[in-house]
Amino acid sequence: MLEIKNLMVFYENAVAINNINMTCQGGKVTGIFGANSAGKSTLMYTISGIILDIKKKEEMKGGERITVLGQMTFEGMDITSMKPSERAKKGIILCPERRRIFAESSTLENLKIGGYLATKTQAKKTLDYVFHIFPALNNLKGREGGFLSGGEQQMLAIGRALMAQPKLLLLDEPLLGLSPLMEAMLARAVRDINRQTGITILISEQYARPILPIVDYGYILENGGAVLEGNSQELMDNPDVKSAYFGL
C-alpha cells in the first residue's frame, strides 16, 4: 500500500533518515521501533507530508535547511511532493506524537474537527464506532481537550484520526507516558481497529513490549537507518532485540 524507496532526510547536514526502504502491506499492522532520536517521528512527518510544511516555514524564517530525498508511493501514486492536506485526502492520516489535542475545544468538537474530510453519514458512523471502541470518551463529550488525562487524550487523538477516514493510519508513539494498564488497553484497541475496519496501520514506538505482539511486520530503526526487519515472531526471537527492547 505504502512503499518507501531510498528515503533520506537531512536537517542541515545532519542525517535524520538514512536511506530507508520499507513497505506497509494493505490491511496489516506495521511497526517501527527505535530509541529516541532514531528518526521515528521524522519518518512519520515525512510520510504524512508535514515535513514539507516545516521545511517551508523554516525557509521563510531563514532557519534550518531541511532536505528530503527519495521516493514514496501510496497505492501506486507518487506522493513525495504532495501537500499534507492532499495526502490526508488520499487517506494518509497521522495521529501525532504527544497527541496534540485541540485543547480549547471539547472532546466532541475535537472529533467533529477530525471529521472534516468525512461525509455526514461517514462521520456519524465513525463517531459511533469511536465511542464503541473507547467507551471512556462517552462521559467526557463536553469536557475541553486540555482537561483530559494523558490516556484519555490519546484515545481522543486516535478517535480524531479515525474520523478523518484513514486508509493508512500513522500512529506516532501512542503509548508515550501512559500507565502499563493504559498501554495494554490501547494496544488492544489498535489491534481491534485493524481487525474490525481493515485500516492499514503504521505504528511507531520506542517501548516495543506491548506493541510487538500486535504487529504483522516490524522495522528496527537506529540512527536514522533500518537495521533489522522481520515479522513479529522473528523480531521477538532475535537476540539483539531481546536484549535491547525486552531486557532479557
Partner 1 sequence: MDILIYGIINSFSLALMAIGFTLVYGISRLPNFAHGALYVITGFLVWSLIHLLKLNYVISILLALVIMGLIGAAIYRFILIRVRGMATSEIIATYALGLAILEFLRWGGFKGMTYTLPVFIEGSVNIVGIPVDFQRIIVIAVGIVVVSFMWIFTHFNKTGLALRGMAQDEHAAMMLGIDSDWMAVIAMAMGSILAGIAAITLLPLGNIVVEAGYNVLILSIAVCIVGGLGSWVGAILAAFMIGFLQIITVAYIQSHFHMVVALLAIIVTLILRPSGLFGRQKELEERV
Residue 204 CB, nearest distance to partner 1 (Å)? Answer: 14
Query: Is residue 117 part of the contact set for partner 1 (CB under 8 A)?
Result: yes
DSSP assignment, residue 178?
A: -
- The stretch near partner 1 (CB under 8 A) out of 66-74, 105-113, 195-203, 209-217 is 105-113
Q: Judged by CB under 8 A, how many residues of this single chain contact partner 1?
A: 36
Q: Which residues contact 61 (CB under 8 A, 6 or more apart)?
A: none
- Beta-bridge mates of residue 230: 218
Q: Of 124 and 195, which has the nearer Cβ to partner 1?
A: 124
Instruction: Say which DSSP state 150 is in.
Output: H
User: Cβ closer to partner 1: 164 or 178?
Assistant: 164
Give buried/exposed letters for 214-230 (b at 16+ CB in 10 A, else e): bbebbbbbbebbbebbe
Query: Does position 125 bind partner 1 by CB under 8 A?
Result: no
Per CB under 8 A, 187 contacts partner 1: no
- Closest approach, Cβ 117 to partner 1, in A, equals 4
Q: Is 111 exposed, middle or buried (0-12, 13-18, 19+ CB in 10 A)?
A: buried
Rounded distance between C-alpha atoms, residue 152 and residue 103, angstroms: 12
Taking the complex as a whole, the smallest distance from the CB of residue 41 to partner 1 amounts, in Å, to 12
The total of other beta-carbon atoms located within 10 Å of residue 185's CB is: 18
End-to-end CA distance of the chain: 35
Instruction: Write the binding mask 38 to 77 for partner 1: x where contact by CB under 8 A, - elsewhere.
Output: ----------x-x--xx-xx--xx----------------
- When the beta carbons of 5 and 89 are compared against partner 1, the nearer one is 89
For the sheet with 66-74, list strands across it.
14-24, 2-11, 66-74, 77-78
Binds partner 1 by CB under 8 A, chosen from 39, 96, 174, 224: 96
Nearest-approach distance from CB 187 to partner 1, in angstroms: 22
> How many Cα neighbours within 13 Å face the side chain of 230?
11
> Which stretches of the chain bind partner 1, using CB under 8 A?
48, 50, 53-54, 56-57, 60-61, 83-85, 88-89, 93-96, 100-105, 109, 112-117, 146, 153, 160-161, 163-164
